[in-house]
Structure 1
Amino acid sequence: MAVSRAQRRAFFAAWLGYLLDGFDFILITLVLTDIAAEFGLDLPQAATLVSAAFVSRWLGGLVLGAIADRYGRKPAMILAILAFSLGSGLCGFAWDYWSLFAFRAIVGVGMAGEYGSSATYVMESWPKHMRNRATGFLLSAYPVGTVLAAFAYQLIVPSGGWRWLFYAGLVPIALTLYLRRSLPEAAEWEREGGGSSVLFAPGRRLVNALLAAVITTALVLVFSRTATGWPLIVLVVAGLFVLTVQLAGRRWPVVLGVIATVFCAFLYSWPIQSLLPTYLKTGLGYEPGAVATALTWAGLGYAAGSCLAGVLGDRLGTRRAYVLGLFASLAFVFPVFALPAGNVVLLWVLLFGMQATSQGISGLLPKYIADHFPTRTRAAGLGFSYNVGALGGAVAPLAGAAIAEDIGLGNALTLLAVVLTLVVAGLVGFNVPARLERYEWGITCNERK
């Protein structure tokens, strides 16, 4: 079955939105050293500004996912783009650490909603046998956005300063007008009708709002390093567990399994995503132009790998292709961070290969997660489980920076990437989330592919 013109148009709109999402989200990593210098921050504290967007993502994925299930995928996409665009623009007006932290949290809400709503929109607009390709091709937009951000960094920051880079993040707002006027709703969602979420149930709204406020406050205290200690972490875990059980009902074990898989996936990938520019500048001494070029090759590898992952996923099966990509990535991680300064061309090649395999294979994640949810709760289920798991991305730069104080940044990034890649390969390869529940939509777990 070929993809129709309407389906291609729907895909392009979602792809463009996700591209701009990647552009806005990655800006902070490019100017982390500039911000640290202006606000007088050390590297671990500056790294918390990357984590700030992850602090709010779980809530954005849940709320905007519930809106997507109830009112449609398209309105949720529009709200998500508005959120991450406004948040990015406001970052340019930040006057201190806490204002920038808050504006980055707004970016996180939008990014979470964009991921869930765009992925479900594209999957439910395309034929079922092509849905790995749909998500793989969709996620190729994110690294293209990072490449554009790298070019913008090289063009804007040396002459205009880091604030003007964030002002450019307001551009995606124009896309919302196109989305609102031109796109149809996802066909599968329209056929099956809107779902509902206990998040907005009349008897639970107040309790859920208070629970969300407590979890968010605790996360801010932990990831801003304002307060530390196990009590806060236990509070966050307990709160998210209560929300998971409440939202997923008797299917909560599989949701926890998905969250654990995504959490580990972020722990292997996001230390590199967030701290690679810092490593290239401080560890190898590259100038901004050389850093931008290296990130361009890394982004192109990510994009190519996402597309290839989609094709392999439809041919080999989602899980088989995922595990294959993870193991292939290990061949590139060690050489990348063992390479001394000066080997520029070889660095480009290795970064391309590493990101094509380690990050590119994540193009299968939306399909892998969505397989665990029916249409009526798919956006909220995908948005919540993915973005709670994405808290691993908040831990990642902090863990990378902390470990780097003892063994160096390059060694720290290598260690996290290798160990957590093997963990994710095990979780996906042995189909752990599906094994945690007895039945799913009347199908026994051992019948899943």
Structure 2
Amino acid sequence: MPSQNEPAEPLAKGIIPTAKQQFHDLFVWKQRVVITNEYGETRTEWVTPEPLQNPISLFMQLSLKGWLYFLVGLAAWTADAFDFHALSIQTYKLADHFDTTKTNISTAITLTLLLRSVGAAIFGLLGDRFGRKWPMIANMLVLGLLQIATIYCATFSQFLAVRSLFGLFMGGVYGNAIAMALENCPVAARGLMSGILQQGYALGYVLAACANLGVGGETETWKTVFWIAAGISIGVGLVRVLFPESKQFRQKADVDESVHTVSAKMFLEEARLMLTREWKMSVYCIILMTWFNYYSHTSQDSYTTFMLTQKQMPNDAASRASILMKTGACVGGTIIGYLSQWVGRRRAIVVSALMSGFLIPAWILPRSERALSATGFFMQFFVQGAWGIVPIHLNELSPPAFRSVFPGVTYQLGNMISSPSAQIVNAVAESHFVTRGGERVEAYGPTMAVATAIIALGIMVTAALGPERRGSRFELARRAGDRVEVGKDVEDVVMDAEKPATVQREKMDEIEKK
């Protein structure tokens, strides 16, 4: 049957032509898609995005098992964030405990972020090769134990060593958690669920801030927050033990196992082919994630310190403002992630970054707790609104068979490159001063304002010129290293998974019949 859609120019080849085409498409409501027929012939068409569905109806599309996978993935990412922010929101206390500067304490944040990419590569490859379950369990249990080890550090050197090891295991959580959560969600619900999923990071911050508020401002109370973090991580790991793998990795597949062979050699060969074909996409995603990680760490990690020092607020007021700020993040990430299913991933990112740039003066200049809470809420509404699109955007841009290692490594490499962000903000702020009530105080506000404005602009440009694969049916892809013995080599199987959804299904049906 002939298509009823309007023909479009084929996808451009090369970096510059692709960037020009993608920038042009940003201002076209319809989506440019490639259609492949049963004979392997391709054509490019403009397809009108499907209208938004009622969120309740989207929730109802998830099965009970789908909800279980999603909620545990969300819990793992929330625990990961709680573990990280247990340190970042208590920089002031830790500096006093170890008798050092806040900048030196932020060295631990830098080391954590540096080693997360190593953990993402190790546990991401394990997750794509053997399944999401046991790598995630190992990560969560070890993270809890390392939180406990942090409490018993006697010296600052021991503290830095434990936090470095903590970063390695922390890096493995993201890729497996979002792959497991999203691959078990229906396509239409993925924008909404991505927005909710990413806000596990904001939720982890809120819970850590609540814990910090609850224990009070005394120096030694930081240990109580770390005990809570340890309990949450270990608890999530134990819950994950109780239910099975994602469907791609179950021992008893729905198809005849005799037609499949899986080996480490084929897995590594497939990984090599993926890197050969997708290196440009890898570089692009790393650049995008570098901007995004600077975006969050610059606007969040030192914000409590900013309120305590420059605004001279008490600990409980600063904690309350931080909680409301992150509540805005949770709301914004959910709403904008949901809207991205209709308006597109890149448009939603660009508009969110633009709005956050406009809000910077209102975010930094107020003095009262109420005003700072309100402007912080709306600032993080858009910062995390853009972030809410990241899980599904990375999954759609990923080679389908490597949706644990690819998002995890690109995300964590961006984290690694942006790892000095907290140190940079603290160092610049502590070396420059503004006047507050006739007293010179460290210039955290101006430092964060200038840095965030530059970063928001970088995100807008990078997203506007980059690719988008909204609606990719990655759940149809075979697992990495799974070869079907029908005379096709490994590369052919990988490419089948990357074709449009209708063709993926047809090709898989054909393979199963053979």
What TM-score do the two structures reach when normalised by structure 2? 0.72
Q: Which letter maps to 1:428?
A: A
What secondary structure, in the 3-state scheme, does the structure 1 residue paired with 2:302 have? helix
Residue in structure 2 matching 1:4, options 54, 59, 63: 63
1:133–1:311 Cα contact (<8 Å) kept: yes
Q: Is the 8 A contact 2:217 2:316 kept in 1?
A: no
Aligned to 2:241: 180
1:165 and 2:190 matched: no
CA separation of 1:441 and 1:428: change in aligned 2, threshold 3 A: farther
C-alpha separation in 2, matches of 1:402 and 1:346: 27
TM (norm. structure 1) is 0.81
Aligned to 1:298: 325
Per mean C-alpha deviation after superposition, the further-off stretch among 149-158 and 384-393 is 149-158
1:312 Cα deviation from its structure 2 partner = 0.9
Q: Verify the 8 A CA contact 1:88 1:170 in the aligned structure 2.
A: yes
**Matched residues in 2 for 1:269 and 1:98: separation?**
27
Question: Greater Rg, structure 1 or structure 2?
Answer: 2
For 1:259-302, what per-residue CA distance to the aligned partner results, in whole angstroms no more than 9, with x for missing partners? 01111111222122211111111111111100110111011011
Partner residue, 2:448: 413
Residue 70 of structure 1 contacts residue 195 of structure 1 at CA under 8 Å; is this kept in 2? no
Shift of 1:54: 0.3
User: 5 Å matches for 1:179-198?
Assistant: 179-181=240-242, 183-188=243-248
- Aligned mates of 2:108, 2:132 — CA distance in 1: 30
Query: For the Cα contact (< 8 Å) 1:137–1:306, is it kept in 2?
Result: yes
Q: Which of 261, 269, 272 pairs up with 2:299?
A: 272
Which amino acid letter does the alignment assign opposite residue 358 of structure 1? Answer: V
Q: Show CA shifts across 1:236-257 (max 9, x none).
A: xxxxxxxx98972232121011
Higher helix share: 1
Residue 380 to residue 196, structure 1, CA distance change in 2 (3 Å) = farther
CA, structure 1 residues 392+25, in 2 after alignment: closer, same or farther (shift >3 Å)? same
Deviation at 1:337? 1.0
Segments of structure 2 that go 5 or more residues without pairing to the other structure are 1-57, 434-442, 470-493, 501-514
Match of 1:395 in 2: 420
**Residue number in structure 1 paired with 2:405:** 380
Aligned to 2:182: 123
2:102 to 20, 40, 43: 43
* 150-159 or 277-286: bigger deviation: 150-159
Select 1:20's aligned residue among 63, 79, 88.
79
Residue identity matched to 1:430: L
**Which residue of the partner structure matches residue 259 of structure 1?**
286
State the Cα distance separating 1:141 from its structure 2 match: 2.0
Amino acid at match of 2:128: D
Partners of 1:360 and 1:189 lie apart in 2 by: 32
Please tell me whether the aligned partners of residues 400 and 412 of structure 1 are also in contact (alpha carbons under 8 angstroms): yes
Distance in 1, Cα, partners of 2:128 & 2:176: 9
Q: 1:98 aligns with which of 157, 160, 185?
A: 157
2:171 matches 1:112? yes
In 1, distance between residues paired with 2:428 and 2:261?
46
Q: Deviations over 1:192-243 (max 9, x none)?
A: 99988889969xxxxxxxxxxxxxxxxxxxxxxxxxxxxxxxxxxxxxxxxx
The answer to whether 1:423 aligns with 2:458 is: yes
**1-side partners of 2:234 and 2:80: how far apart?**
11
SS at match of 2:244: coil
Looking at structure 1, the residues matched to 268 and 386 of structure 2 have their Cα atoms a distance apart, in angstroms, of: 37
1:122 to partner: Cα distance? 1.0
Q: How far is the alpha carbon of 1:413 from its aligned partner?
A: 0.4
Aligned-residue Cα RMSD (Å) equals 2.8
- Residues 1:29 and 1:260: Cα distance change in structure 2 (over 3 Å): same
Is residue 310 from structure 1 mapped to residue 337 from structure 2 by the alignment? Answer: yes
Cα distance in 2 for residues equivalent to 1:306 and 1:199: 38
Aligned: 1:325 with 2:352: yes
**What is residue 138 of structure 1 aligned with on the other side?**
197
Partner residue of 1:30 out of 81, 84, 89: 89
1:363 pairs, out of 388, 392, 400, with: 388
> Which protein is richer in strand relative to its size?
2
Do the aligned partners of 1:196 and 1:377 also contact (CA within 8 Å) in 2?
Answer: no
Assess, with a 3 A threshold, how the Cα gap between structure 1 residues 376 and 189 changes in structure 2: closer, same or farther: farther
Q: How much has 1:421 moved relative to structure 2?
A: 0.8
* CA apart distance, 1:68: 0.6
Number of residue pairs matched by the alignment:
396
| 2:345 and 2:468 in contact (8 A); partners too | no
How many Å apart are 1:178 and its aligned residue? 1.6
In structure 1, distance between residues paired with 2:148 and 2:188: 39
